[in-house]
A and B are shown apart, each in its own frame.
Chain A
């Protein structure tokens, strides 16, 4: 995997959000439509291509917690709004590039992750996402590799499992697709020793289908 190899060669401890998603997408995990841009012009044309509304995120390998650092501009609806947002992000010198991203308006936020246990090896995590991940700790784990049964079973295990059903006029989450995501995450853990952790949070639900809105791949870099 080229993205992974290059990051390891550089000695990076994480993949950027965009690279994380490219990596995950190459393993069949649905992610937001997005492009990395360097100039205002590129931002404007990327936004037009992806379609409004748009999110802009300041990007750089060291920028893990974008919300706290005020590096996210949400719900941009016009070319002008995108250009203004681009300029304001660039005021922060840590912002090397800007991520132009499809805005997913899902009110259901889930988390999917990969962790490594000293005894059981790679483990897949699933649960309530967004700010609730830390507050409620409503998550379940499975040891990789996961079977279809394991994946469906772990979705049933969270206390807030009702969130997966039809909800406020929105369709139920497609559990088959979600199960495939969980199985794929487990496979990544088994296949790539260099991937130490994965954190997809939030995983939003768009028309019943999961989309990784933010993602972080943490590397097990020997140069650490």
Chain B
């Protein structure tokens, strides 16, 4: 598969900020500030003929006067000025240009003409162009934060391209609170030159990227996205959240097939066929990416459920079935093993309801037995990690006996808190040992479980529905990987 090499775009040695500004509410200032604040690994040269220096760094009157070669130029000046600046970048031998400036094809025919002009010009110099109308790019390796918003994403192995800068940047923010880190990000803007399939192809080949995310709105009729995706999805998971509807076939068709071919349905089919994991809401994108990036893809769809309370087990089992996951009955061998640990009134079935056993040791033992049960491919463990759920801070008034009981309850709570780390570490050990995802459901009212992921490399969600959804999407991907890889020639 042919793809564009974008190494120098994401990991340039040098950057020039063309249109650097001393006015702190102008993008020429903000983007420059973000690059410096992000501690980009190489030199950054501000370019503006009207100012001497910016944030203590000498300014150059034009990019051609910068005494260094430039890999990446970021342009923030008004649209009518961009064309001649592209010429200057071209003469300078710049490799990539990121055009933050808006008011191009997104605003009408005049803008579209200008866009075509700058794209053709850039290409004539052998430069590639991001945008125009982009919110910028990010790369973990070189600490590159050439972005409009001051977001400092966590570093990780997700790479994302987004046709909406705002949506994409929000995914970077959401990652911070969930412990989900990014390797590369690009807001693709109007895609005058580089298009989503270029980023997809590059991320698929990029060794530092393990999972690809995208937010898409429209796909050009001549887009290579589908063909690129068919190849990319074999290499690594590609999760896409599609906003808006594509242009429908238009004319009412004479036959039923034509009339019913609402193109969102076709789009869904094409995504599925290519192996793309389609995510149907904004929260789901980072939510599912978390599991994809931290865990191996399950070998199949059989799930063991461990719960301390029956109701949550029921809810989890329902969600599994609704998502096409299988909750198999316990084998005799597993049943007997669990019998030696649990009191006689436990559920004797999958979901394994521990029936109000509150100490940590049996939970750990059950988790280990279920993870190693060879008839399941993943485990959902509920209520194993309940930091904050037990609150005995306040003293009680009453008898000495009551006070003693409170002291005992505090001991139990302390045991929970201490064992929580042990539960999480065991879960991770079992993931590594068995190759099966073990997803924790905390049922806690604290959203993001950042430390579970960052400190223990364990994936936790507050609700079983979210856990099941992430697992179901991973099973979808396994199903795709198991489908024959036929090289179709048209």
List the interface of chain A (C-beta within 8 A of B).
13-14, 64, 111, 113-120, 123, 125, 133-134, 137, 139-143, 145, 147-150, 153-154, 190, 196-199, 201, 216, 218
Contact = CB atoms under 8 A, between A and B. Distances in A.
A201 B247 CA distance: 26
B273 A218 contact: no
B255 A216 contact: yes
Given A141-B265, A142-B273, A143-B226, A118 B249 contact: yes
Nearest to B250: A118
A197 B254 contact: yes
A115 B269 contact: no
A120 B266 contact: yes
Interface residues of B, number: 30
B482 to A, nearest CB: 10
Given A120-B226, A143-B226, A145-B490, A115 B258 contact: yes
B407 interface: no
B256 interface: yes
Given A140-B269, A145-B488, A149-B483, A14 B258 contact: no
A22 to B, nearest CB: 18
Contacts of B253: 115, 196-197, 218
B219 A125 contact: no
B314 to A, nearest CB: 25
B249 A117 contact: yes
A115 B263 CA distance: 10
A114 B253 CA distance: 12
Contacts of A137: 260
A149 B256 contact: no
A141 B226 contact: no
B223 to A, nearest CB: 7
Contacts, number: 104
B256 A134 contact: yes
Contacts of A197: 253-255, 257-258
Interface of B: 219-221, 223, 226, 246-247, 249-250, 253-258, 260-261, 263, 265-270, 273, 483-484, 486, 488, 490
Contact of B269 (A118, A133, A142, A149): A142
Nearest to B257: A113
A125 B268 CA distance: 13
A133 B261 CA distance: 12
Nearest to A150: B273
B488 A133 contact: no
Given A142-B273, A145-B488, A123 B256 contact: no
Contact of A114 (B247, B254, B257): B257
Contacts of B488: 145, 147
A118 B256 contact: no
A4 to B, nearest CB: 16
Q: Identify which of B256, B257, B265, B484 gathers the most chain A CB atoms within 10 Å of its CB.
A: B257
A28 B254 CA distance: 24
Contacts of B266: 115, 117, 119-120, 123, 141, 143
25 contacts: A111-B257, A113-B257, A116-B249, A118-B247, A119-B219, A119-B247, A119-B263, A120-B266, A120-B267, A123-B261, A125-B261, A141-B268, A143-B226, A143-B266, A145-B490, A147-B488, A148-B484, A154-B269, A197-B254, A197-B255, A197-B258, A199-B255, A201-B256, A216-B254, A218-B258
A137 B259 CA distance: 11
B221 A119 contact: yes
Nearest to B230: A143
A81 to B, nearest CB: 30
Q: Which 6 A-B pairs have the closest CB atoms?
A: A113-B257, A199-B255, A115-B261, A141-B269, A197-B258, A147-B486
A123 B255 contact: no
Contacts of B255: 113, 197-199, 216, 218
A123 B254 contact: no
A114 to B, nearest CB: 6
Given A116-B249, A117-B249, A143-B270, A149 B257 contact: no
A15 to B, nearest CB: 11
Contacts of A201: 256
A117 B261 contact: yes
A201 B266 CA distance: 19
A34 B456 CA distance: 70
B256 A199 contact: yes
Nearest to B253: A197
Q: Identify which of A64, A115, A148, A201 gathers the most chain B CB atoms within 10 Å of its CB.
A: A115
